[in-house]
């Protein structure tokens, strides 16, 4: 079995080191190298590698954003390459996600390859995907919320800053991201899943099918029967359900 491998790291020397170490392994084939997260998303979609060595800390788009863009369930087996300190590494150990702590040597590298071989022989990629999902959720609970959202387009992937969002509404199997300039983008995700990725100090659910950026609220008007209408900076009117009213009120008072 040949394990088709993609190397993603913004440091050329780091990519060269991994490529050299893999060159000594007969069952691994390097199918590509990427220096940015954007390149990685495109390469994963086009090359469909079995394995990816993924640097966590990259400018513009980090390793976690790559996973969010692709979707944890669609990711190949992943070995994180990280310069995080020992405290952060414990999070990876807890979730049983393979990692290489820079600087790593050949012995540690081969140990990681051994784990990957074992998982692939057992066709254990579904477990790896679940681990990636759990890791992302734990990081979000720790306050690592998405600052940018990756949106697939006909020509590739575009990136939308979270602070550009005015509101988000459900659209079937998608969510619609409505921006400050009147544009909207579809993202294949549930509203509840996206809500977990957004900073709760900035974004709040106002209806079972709507999330708003509280900084973009211009006015809240009372209606009959205890209902309220939210008026956004753009003039868009959104319904504020009674079940979410207290949460919105508390968040606005804190901002």
pLDDT score of 155 more than 70: no
Instruction: Quote the distance between the C-alpha of residue 127 and its chain's center.
Output: 18
Is residue 34 within 8 Å of residue 81, measured between CB atoms? Answer: no
The residue ranking higher by pLDDT, 78 or 142, is: 78
The pLDDT-based confidence of 126 (bands split at 50, 70, 90) is low
Tell me the C-alpha distance between 68 and 179, whole Å.
20
Write down the residue that tokens 């994180």 correspond to: 80
| pLDDT, averaged across the chain | 82
CA distances, 249 to each of 34, 204, 219, 230 (Å): 46, 10, 12, 12
Q: What are the structural domains, with CATH classification, of the chain?
A: 3-141 (3.40.50.2300), 163-254 (2.40.50.1020)
| The pair of three-digit structure tokens given for residue 191, joined into one six-digit string | 């509203």
For residue 168, the tally of other CB atoms under 10 A from its CB is 25
């Amino acid at each position: 079995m040949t394990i088709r491998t993609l190397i993603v790291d913004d440091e050329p020397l780091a990519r060269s080191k991994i490529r050299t170490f893999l060159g000594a392994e007969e069952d691994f084939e390097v199918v590509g190298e990427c220096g940015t997260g954007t390149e990685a998303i495109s390469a994963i979609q086009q090359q469909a590698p079995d394995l990816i060595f993924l640097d966590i800390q990259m400018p513009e788009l980090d390793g976690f954003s790559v996973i969010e863009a692709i979707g944890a369930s669609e990711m190949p087996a992943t070995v994180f390459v990280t310069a995080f300190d020992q405290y952060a590494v414990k999070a990876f150990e807890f979730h049983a996600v393979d990692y290489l702590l820079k600087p790593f040597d050949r012995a540690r590298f081969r140990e990681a390859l051994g784990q990957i071989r074992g998982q692939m022989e057992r066709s254990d990629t579904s477990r790896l995907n679940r681990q990636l999902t759990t890791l992302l959720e734990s990081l979000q609970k720790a306050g690592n919320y998405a600052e940018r959202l990756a949106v697939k387009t006909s020509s590739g992937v575009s990136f939308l800053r979270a602070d550009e969002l005015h509101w988000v509404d459900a659209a079937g199997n998608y969510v619609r991201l409505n921006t400050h300039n009147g544009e909207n983008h579809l993202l294949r995700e549930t509203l509840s899943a996206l809500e977990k990725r957004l900073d709760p100090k900035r974004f709040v659910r106002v209806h079972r099918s709507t999330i708003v950026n509280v900084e973009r609220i211009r006015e809240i008007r009372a209606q009959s029967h205890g209902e309220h209408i939210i008026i956004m900076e753009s003039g868009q009117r959104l319904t504020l359900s009674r079940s979410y009213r207290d949460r919105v009120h508390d968040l606005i008072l804190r901002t």
